[in-house]
Structure 1
């Protein structure tokens, strides 16, 4: 799994397109309001863009933070299983860093920010590669040989 993060409108999408130019299936939260699930007819590289938006969609005031985090982790674990099923499968996750700046006043928005941050920590721990993109410039935070 390859995780790419950075600020909003900082070039994450462009950077990923340059590093995975062909044979990709791209799911963007702006086009797919619900978490996509692995299925047939996918290309060897699947890109999930907008993790923070899918997390927000899952928000429910009646559920605890732990339950909400677990729901989102399970969505990603299904994709990780897809990736592990075939040697040539690659999963690329793109998530905007929403942890900087002013802490939201509304409880639900603070919870969204917290859950997203916790989810990114879990993703980073399990990812083979993590890149941070700011202003179009990448910095590799974590890397193993499997990825370019």
Structure 2
């Protein structure tokens, strides 16, 4: 599993496409804001999952850890069956939101991203278009 993280509009998807171009060809399926059902996963496909904030929004009334663990568990099921790239938008480097819901969203994303980064073989931070490998190997050829 790859995790590519960085700020909004910092080049994460463009970098993911660059990495994918270096990997063996597979069908690419993209999920934005939701996860595929387990029966939809096929071993010979590559998946990009992004917009985790949208997945978390409906569950702000629940515990941050519970929500993060639930989504993480579903993602790990996908990662066990197919190649997976998670694109995570870092919302932790800005001003602390005044609204409780916005803080909870930021904190839940942070908990989820910690879990994903811990389990990923490769973690890459993209900041203003510049990739920095934090863990593993990017497979990118310059």
**In the alignment, what sits opposite 1:3?**
3
Deviation string, structure 1 residues 20-69 (Cα, Å, up to 9, x no partner)? 0342423242xxx532234155753211122233222x4241x2222222
Tell me if 1:15 matches 2:15.
Answer: yes
The DSSP-based 3-state class of the residue aligned with 2:59 is coil
Q: Which runs of 5+ in 2 are unaligned?
A: none
Q: Confirm or deny: 8 A CA contact 1:25 1:42 kept in the other structure.
A: no
Tell me if 1:26 matches 2:25.
Answer: no
CA distance in 2, matches of 1:94, 1:118: 15
**In the alignment, what sits opposite 2:107?**
114
The DSSP-based 3-state class of the residue aligned with 1:74 is helix
TM-score (norm 2): 0.83
CA distance in 2, matches of 1:24, 1:16: 15
**In the alignment, what sits opposite 1:87?**
none
Are residues 112 and 40 of structure 1, via their aligned partners in 2, closer, same or farther at CA, if it must alter by over 3 Å? Answer: closer
Q: Which runs of 5+ in 1 are unaligned?
A: 84-89
Bigger drift between 128-137 and 37-46 goes to 37-46
Aligned residues: 135
Q: Confirm or deny: 8 A CA contact 1:132 1:141 kept in the other structure.
A: yes
Q: Confirm or deny: 8 A CA contact 1:26 1:49 kept in the other structure.
A: no
Q: Confirm or deny: 8 A CA contact 2:27 2:46 kept in the other structure.
A: yes
TM-score (norm 1): 0.80
The DSSP-based 3-state class of the residue aligned with 1:20 is helix
RMSD: 2.0
